[in-house]
Amino acid sequence: MAAYILRRLLLMVPTLFGIMAISFIVVQFAPGGPVEQVIARLTGQGGDAMDRISGGGGGDMAATNFDAGGEASSRYRGAQGLDPEFIAKLEQQFGFDKPPLERFGLMLWNYARFDFGESYFRKISVIDLILEKMPVSISLGLWLTLLSYLISIPLGIRKAVKDGSAFDTWTSAVVIVGYAIPAFLFAILLMVLFAGGSFFDWFPLRNLTSDNFDQLSWPEKIVDYFWHLTLPLTAMVLSAFATTTLLTKNSFLDEIRKQYVVTARAKGLSQRRILYGHVFRNAMLIVIAGFPGAFISAFFTGSLLIENIFSLDGLGLLGYKSLLDRDYPVVFANLYIFSLIGLFVSLLSDLTYTWIDPRIDFERRDV
């Protein structure tokens, strides 16, 4: 097993390199980079743009050059009338004065040391920015995974036992509807019904806590926290539990039809003992081993639209805004960190298989 783990760890290096290289190449051809973003803000609303450049320190220089005019670099759309020296200073500030290959190598060297630099526009280090947004995503990912498993596993087992019955039929309809309708549509429906839309105004639409959260007692803080979580979490759970439910049902059906179950029934064992004493461990192998991956998926990718709809300032919203702003340090740091975590979680899932069922030996297989 040690050799298998070592091989997997070594394979992470070229995999991560490939992910970063492809993303970096795509970014080189994407229009509207950070220099263009600053130019657009300068020509549209100069004061606000200047506050976001170099901590506000370059404002006087930028305004002077903007008034002075001159031939701006033709590489940037909308740069006419800006001093070429100002454009060159912007390129130097954002690191675009270096060749792409040098910038990519420098980025990899820094990222290997977990040095992610600072955001182009937010005046804060990238790692601090990610840590600042993480509590929201942790809340959504943790509760989503927990609730979806608590619903899916009992429901999937029940559907397997009642396969072909009326219960199985109507619950399958519910599962299919939950799987087919995107979470953001559920979110909009819940918002219209229960968040001050056309019907009731029972739940808030912004943040995970109220403005007076610090002044509340501990019981009131807990109630306030779950009060804010109710709608976004409900929307996500309705779409998330379908896959795990069907996976649990099919896994149990496969085990129930095997010979050892027939033998156990012939010996007179009760249905409950057969189900939870013999079938459960084998049937839950795939479901439990997929738990780390399910959590990471919910944590990092499942909440982007939900965070936008309910104005929850988490990692999904951060990545989306950073991509729109071309805040490349934040974009690439998110990609690097979450890709690295995803690779480790994939390894953890495999190790979970061997922990649940020692008969599985990945070391005898090719990676």
Pick the residue with more confidence: 219 or 82?
219
> What is the band of 332 on the pLDDT scale with cuts at 50, 70, 90?
very high
Q: How confident is the model at residue 152 (pLDDT cuts 50, 70, 90)?
A: confident
Q: How far apart are CA 346 and CA 341, in angstroms?
A: 9
Confidence of residue 309 (pLDDT cuts 50, 70, 90): confident
- Would you say the pTM of this structure is higher than 0.85? no
CB atoms within 10 A of CB 272: 8
Residue 47 has pLDDT above 50, yes or no: no
pLDDT above 60 (res 57): no
User: How far is C-alpha 159 from the chain's CA centre?
Assistant: 30
Please state, rounded to an integer, the average pLDDT across all residues of the chain.
Answer: 79
Instruction: Write down the pLDDT at residue 270.
Output: 82
Got the DSSP string for 245-301? HHHHHHHHHHHHTSHHHHHHHHTT--HHHHIIIIIHHHHHHHHHHTHHHHHHHHHHT
Identity of residue 229? L
Residues 316 and 334: their CA atoms lie apart, in Å, by 10
User: Which pLDDT tens digit goes with each residue over 173-227?
Assistant: 988 888 888 888 888 888 888 887 678 888 887 778 888 888 888 888 899 889 9
DSSP string, 186-226: HHHHHHHHHBSSSS-B-S--SSSS-TTGGGS-HHHHHHHHH
CATH number given to 127-364 = 1.10.3720.10
Q: Where are the domains of the chain?
A: 31-115, 127-364
Q: What is the CA radius of gyration of the chain?
A: 26
At 362, the pLDDT band (50, 70, 90 cuts) reads low
According to DSSP, the residues that pair with 33 across neighbouring strands are none
Higher pLDDT residue, 354 or 318?
318
Could you count the other beta carbons within 10 Å of the beta carbon of residue 240?
A: 25
